[in-house]
Amino acid sequence: MDIIGLRRRSLPWTGLSALFVVSMLAACESIGAEHFRDHVNEATQVKVADRYGAPHRLERLADGREVWTYFERGSGTASYSGYVTGGSCRAYTLIFDQQGVLRDWKEDPCSP
């Protein structure tokens, strides 16, 4: 009981955990190969930028096409020794035509 005589109501720990996970998933959208594969020849630069933000790297080709690169870095965990293990990085390279339509893409590990 608190000062005014009412019991405090709280979510059980599992409810709080689930709420936290859902809010974290909603807060950040992972880049996924499925999205690019399913939207070749229809996704535009505007739609991609709305979904993932500005590209991490942008290259304009002489023929008017643009190459956008996004990097998705996974988190690692630190061991007792202090070294981080398990981190990963994927590079998504997107090629847009002169009209800004996604025409091709590839996924690679990030280069050092």
In the structure encoding, which two tokens stand for residue 32, read together?
């996924």
Residues 112 and 101: beta-carbon distance below 8 Å: no
pLDDT tens-place string over residues 47-104:
999 999 999 999 999 999 999 999 998 766 555 655 555 568 999 999 999 999 999 9
pLDDT tens-place string over residues 26-35:
334 567 788 8
Residues 8 and 2: beta-carbon distance below 8 Å: yes
